[in-house]
Structure 1
Amino acid sequence: MLPKIELHLHLEGAAPPAFVRGLAKEKSIDISGIFDARGGYAYADFWHFLKVYEAATSVLQSPEDYARLTRAVLEECAASGVIYAETFVSPDFCGGRDLGAWREYLHAIHETARAVAAQGGPELRGIVTCIRHFGPEKARETAICAAETVGDFITGFGIAGDEKAAQPKDFRWSFDCAREAGLRLTAHAGEWGGPQSIRDALADLGVERIGHGVRAIEDLALVDELAERGVVLEVCPGSNIALGVFADWRKHPINELDRRGVKVTVSTDDPPFFHTTMEREFQMLNRAFDWDEGQFARINRTALDAAFCDADTRGRIAKKLEAV
């Protein structure tokens, strides 16, 4: 139960299955086909996972739904000892990229997060995220929503979705828009697209963090470059293993990347989809690589240094880490 910092968490992807089933029942929406016999999410591969994710998200239809979701997710985070988290949120799912609707959804999410923090729960920040397979034009609308709502809650901008859809350079306008608005930048890469996708994200989008990035291990020159540049990887080992990117924990490259000087952090991605929690991630890293409390403290410090938050927030979280 060490305190933990999580930088890579999809808000809708963190929705507990029971929460989604409950909303579906309230709204008389039949999404029974996305669950397995035990009540968990069921999918065959990454691309089927994307469809199941979007089906689960379809029951979230109002700001109030997102307020309830935010509280449910933060309760799960707190149960694993998370004291600070950054979550990916998208206007695509929150009002269809309409700025007025997005503001209403965002207000509901932010107010709930603020109330949870005031009650001693985790602090939360939002990273507005465009969906790669929805295309560059919709990403521009998402970027405008992000730029218009930058503040003490919305602090970052990123891209997620199918890495095989379009190229990073196709989203350059959106990232330039977000950067000019003062948002910090991250991008999913190096999960399915291979090492070149990481190079493209860095060169074409100018990001400072990479979501996943684990397939950099296939190109040691790139590993050295990441280490030299101080690029931070938002690594989600349990997600990678559940989706078959790596066969098991001992074959996951997080330990080798860390040994070679790359700045790695630990997150859950979409925890109920991958039957994981931050507590389990720490436990499995301890078992696979003998990571101890000192190692986890260092990983937390890396995550805090890379967090898209202001200095006052960073100071508060640092005190909580130092108190342990």
Structure 2
Amino acid sequence: MCSDFVHSGHSPVVRILELSGSILLGRPLVTTILLILVVLAVVVFLVMKSQQRGSGHSATQLDDAKADARQAIERLGGQVYNLTGSDDASRQALADAAERYNAAGSQIDQAATPVQARLAKQTALEGLYYIRAARVAMGMDPGPEVPSIDGQKAAGSVTEDREVEFEGRKVAASPNPSSHTPNYYPGGRVAGRPVPAGWYSEPWWKPALVAGAWGLGSMMLFSTMFSGMAGVPYGAEAFAQGGDTGAGDSGDQGDSGDQGDSGDQGMDAGDSGADQGSVDNTDFTADGGGSDYGDFGGGDFGGGDFGGFDF
């Protein structure tokens, strides 16, 4: 070792200092690297725990949303299976309710997010409005109130009898069911435009629901049919722009009106846990007259896929 110091060209003291310095400098570097690795490991652990908590919270939200939607779907199913129409208006309304029941069951089975589960509930609530309409048409008590669906309040409602000429035929609207106005709509948006709640001689909104777009004559029909009607506080121009009247629409907002039993609630529903299997619409003589609903991915749910219908 001494010979190394002698032949190195440096004094032994300098060489020892050089070796000592390298050791002293090397030790903090290793320690720093170890500390960095420890910190990184802690950060990764905390991030993973946070993601797990977030995933668990999202799963809980989805489960809660699905359970909430299934209450409305089961309530609708109990009515669909236990009511039989006695005239054209009630049979048509029950056919539309059955269509919503089938669609809601398909949607909730495919729901992967709370938003999709909520849309399934909206479909079921719309079906419950058709149930109420059918009961009114048959002279029965309509039953408990149903929470508002999106776009319903802003769309308004038919408050007087109207009959207009449109494209060579007569189109009528009424606040009450009759053999002349057997087609009910609960109010809401179809392909981005409002349709007032009421009874009609024909489902004039259905072409837009199926195609996802309104025809050129829709604005003229709306203007002729609803101009000056107290229950429709907007004109044809607002209709063409989506019916944004500034009135707002509380929509579901926590379902404050749906706090009771999800089953019958005095509506002669029978078993609220009715099988959510497919209802054969051929049991009703009407053609459905309303929405051409499908599943999330491919049905005509308001003119497109599941996200296209603005309830």
TM-score (norm 1): 0.26
Larger relative CO (CA 8 A, sep 6+): 1 or 2?
2
State the TM-score, normalized to the length of structure 2: 0.27
Q: Please say which structure displays the higher CA radius of gyration.
A: 2
